[in-house]
Amino acid sequence: MAKLIQRITGILRRTTPATPPAPAPAPARAPQAPRGRHLQYEPNLDGDADPGEIVWTWVKYEDDPSQGKDRPVLVVGRNGRTLLGLMLSSQHDRDGQRNWLALGAGAWDREDRPSWIRLDRVIEVDQDGIRREGAILDRARFDKVAAVLRADYGWA
């Protein structure tokens, strides 16, 4: 009986490969930080939208993306041809609402109404989708927006 067990064990050893399992394949791309998380301030009223400028573009409604409206957007960054922005509103009921920050009035609004900026929704727009440049947001107000984005929303 012992000889039979040795014989079976020997057969099993010869048919079982001694090589370790192959490592899992590496991901095709290393994970990157989410888009829209690196703030830039580089305004230049040259006809192209740049970070730090408020521009006008079509923004889809969240509850019905088949509709939207032309509205001002603060450009806060860029990812290739894609601009990363935050939309503005002149509706007074935004004052004090969560995720909205008061900006005050500026040249982007023809009626010089105060504006609020929405901090929790990043708008991605192809650079050719900008309808017109509105104004440069001054550095102090941009820095105020940037400080809140860094402290409360995980931006760099």
What does the longest C-alpha to C-alpha distance in the chain come to? 100
Which residue, among 92, 69, 87, 84, has the nearest Cα to 34 in the 3D structure?
84
pLDDT (0 to 100) of residue 6: 58
Q: Is the pLDDT of residue 35 over 90?
A: no
43 and 31 in contact (C-beta within 8 Å)? no
C-alpha span between 133 and 109 (Å, rounded):
11
Model's pTM, two decimal places? Answer: 0.75
pLDDT tens for each residue of 10-21: 544 554 445 444
What span, in angstroms and rounded, lies between the C-alpha atoms of 6 and 11? 9
pLDDT tens sequence across 40-99: 999 988 888 899 999 999 999 999 989 999 999 999 998 888 999 999 999 999 999 999
